Each structure stands twice: as C-alpha cells, then as structure tokens.
Structure 1
Amino acid sequence: MLSSEVGDDLTSAYVTRVPLLAGANPYVTLYDGDTPTGYASLWQVDWSTHGSGSVLVVWTPAGLRVVSDDPRLGAWIEEHFVRHFDEARALPSWPAARVERAAVELRVDPATGAYAAAAGLTVGITGPLDARPFAMADFPLRGASHGLSMQIIPCAHASITIDGRAVPGVPAVTWPGGRPSSSAITTVHEAWSM
C-alpha cells in the first residue's frame, strides 16, 4: 500500500472534535460499608463553551445541591456532565437540580489534593496515592461520543461537610494488582471535546 493510501485510510477514520471544556474535576464518593453516603464533584473550569468559573455539586440521601459563581455554567456542568457520570448514576437517586449562585472557593493541587467551600458546603480530598495519565477517544456521555484526557490522582482521604456537620463515610480505597484505586480522585489538565 502506498503511503498516500495509508494517509487516506487514517483520514477517513478520523473524527473531528470541538473543544468543550478545560480545567479540573476532583470528585469523591463516600461510603458507609457498601452504602454511598455522599458524593461531591468539584469543577474548576478554566475555559468552556459556557464560560469559566467554579462549580460545586454535592449529593447526599437528603438531596442535591449545585453551587456556582455562574449559575448558567453550574446548570450546564450538572446537566451535561455530572448527572451522567457512572458515580452519579450508581447513587440511589439524582433529583432535579436548582443552581444556587454563590462564590465557590476552590483549590486544586496535584501534590496535596483538592478543597472546595461554598454556601455551607465544604469538600476536602487529600493524601495522593499515585498520578497517572488517562485518555479516552470515545467516552460515551449522554448518548454521544466525547473525547477526554486528564491526569488522575487517586487519594486516600476525603470529607464532605454540610452546615458544619460531617457526612458519614470514607472513600473506598483498593489496591488491585498493587496499584491504588480510590473513590476520591483529584484531576488536573482535564479536557473534554465532542
């Protein structure tokens, strides 16, 4: 086969993508035994088709809260991404969201973890165990193929508090094949395309 034919074959299989978002998305699910007690998704959006800013999504059996300094961005993050992730879909329920406008303090540090605070909610993710790149050219989300790349940092510890009261539970940490896996993750350099 001629090299120009190889190029033609590769070109015909290539899917052109449009950038959607760049930033970071640390997240955690807390468990009491096998029962999920809390879930949080923290978004540091450096750039997106819906603007930039911070979003904090927190679920407990008592309900769902979405807080953002930009409610339009917060609604898009919850609707397009969070509610469709495996972690959210595995929860017993995911009610309709109402976005609260409030300043979100968010720090993401690959060496130490992540911290977010807004409107009586705080989330901490600490104790990095590993750092590894992740990329998926065909990540199914909302019935459509998305591109996703990021650095994943599984962490040992996490907490969620609501109005000063700690949500019970801890992250699930396992070591399959000697490699750490956790339900508490810090991500950096996260990029989505469609």
Structure 2
Amino acid sequence: MTLRLMGANPCVTLYDGGRATAYASVWRVDWSLRGKGHALVLGTPQCTRIIGPDGELGAWLGAEFNRHIRSVSAGIAWREPEFTLAPVRFELDLDTGLQASAGDVTVEISGPIERYLTRKDDYDLGGTPNILSTVWIPCRDGSISVGGSPLAGAIKLDEAQPLSSAFIAEAEVWCTADHPRK
C-alpha cells in the first residue's frame, strides 16, 4: 500500500431537477506525494477550472482524483482544465461548515447533520484501485458563487438517510490498494 494523500475535501454538487449544474471540490492537502497546500476545482457543463497557489498540486488533484470521482461530478464531463494561480481561503469548522474562496469562486457548506467514519477498500480512480477513509459529514446547505453571482441549482438533500450533495470530507486518506482488480 502506498499513502497518496491526507487532508480534507469538502464538496458541493448543485442540481436543477435531476441534472447536475455545477460542482466544487475544495482541497486542503496536509500531506501528499505532490506536496501540501490548497486548491479549488470547479466543474460546470461549460468548463473545468482549477484555482490555487500551486499549479502542479492543483493539476495533480484534478487529474488523479476529481476527474474520476463520479459521485461529485454527477455526470458533468471532465474538460481540459483552465488554471488560475491564486490563493485559496479555506475556513473549516466541523461544527458549522466551510467557507472557501479562490479567485472569483466562493463555496459555502453549512449545517452538518451527522458525522461518519467511512472506508472504501476498492475506490476506482481511473482503473487504479484505492483505499479511501474519511470522516464524512453530510450538510443541510451548500452553494457556489462565481464573480459574486450564485450558480444555478440546489443541493440534493435527504435528511432521513442522511445524504447530501453538500458535504465535508475531513481526515481524508487516499492509498493505492495492494490487491489487483478483479
């Protein structure tokens, strides 16, 4: 097993009916094979943007993780990313939520419902099996704004389960799996 990344990855996916309109994945990388830092990945049907102070780290996060995480992108196609070098403001409070911004993009996630320790031993990232463990926190509210204007759509929320397309993934650890694909 090879440890690849440790950190946090809060995400929001917005929907209009059953169609995803946008997603944002905000990274706090405490340690990785490519260093540490922050990045924000924004996907819309028109484009994929990666914003952060370290273009190499942001490109790696997008190519190795975000382009393969179907539950976040929800059918929005991965496109050749546009890169913006800019600082990422990342304010995470596990009691209240996340406020993050990078360049002209702002992401807000609030209203944690519950906290779960999860582990998936065969998470497929582009044909490479990975082990993912994280503290997963579904939330009641989430939004994405670009240039001060909210993007269209709303989160999907089922408090009975609880499931939400706005969530915090904290204490996230990615490792390559030793076992071959079957």
C-alpha deviation, 1:140, in angstroms = 1.6
Q: Give the equivalent residue in structure 2 for 1:93.
A: 77
- 1:1-194 correspondence to structure 2 within 5 Å: 17-87=1-71, 90-175=74-159, 178-194=160-176
The RMSD of aligned alpha carbons is 1.3
Cα distance in 1 for partners of 2:70, 2:49 equals 18
C-alpha deviation, 1:87, in angstroms = 2.9
Aligned length: 176
C-alpha deviation, 1:36, in angstroms = 1.2
Q: Give the equivalent residue in structure 2 for 1:5.
A: none
TM-score (structure 2 length as normaliser): 0.92
C-alpha deviation, 1:179, in angstroms = 2.6
The answer as to whether partners of 1:156 and 1:173 remain within 8 angstroms in 2 is yes
Can you give the 5+ residue segments of structure 2 that lack an aligned partner in the other structure?
177-182
The answer as to whether partners of 2:141 and 2:155 remain within 8 angstroms in 1 is yes
The secondary structure found in structure 1 opposite 2:87 is coil
C-alpha deviation, 1:103, in angstroms = 0.4
C-alpha deviation, 1:28, in angstroms = 1.0
Counting aligned pairs with the same residue, the percent is 38
The answer as to whether partners of 1:154 and 1:184 remain within 8 angstroms in 2 is yes
Q: Give the equivalent residue in structure 2 for 1:4.
A: none
The secondary structure found in structure 2 opposite 1:179 is coil
C-alpha deviation, 1:160, in angstroms = 0.5
The answer as to whether partners of 1:110 and 1:187 remain within 8 angstroms in 2 is no
Amino acid at match of 1:77: L
C-alpha deviation, 1:89, in angstroms = 5.2
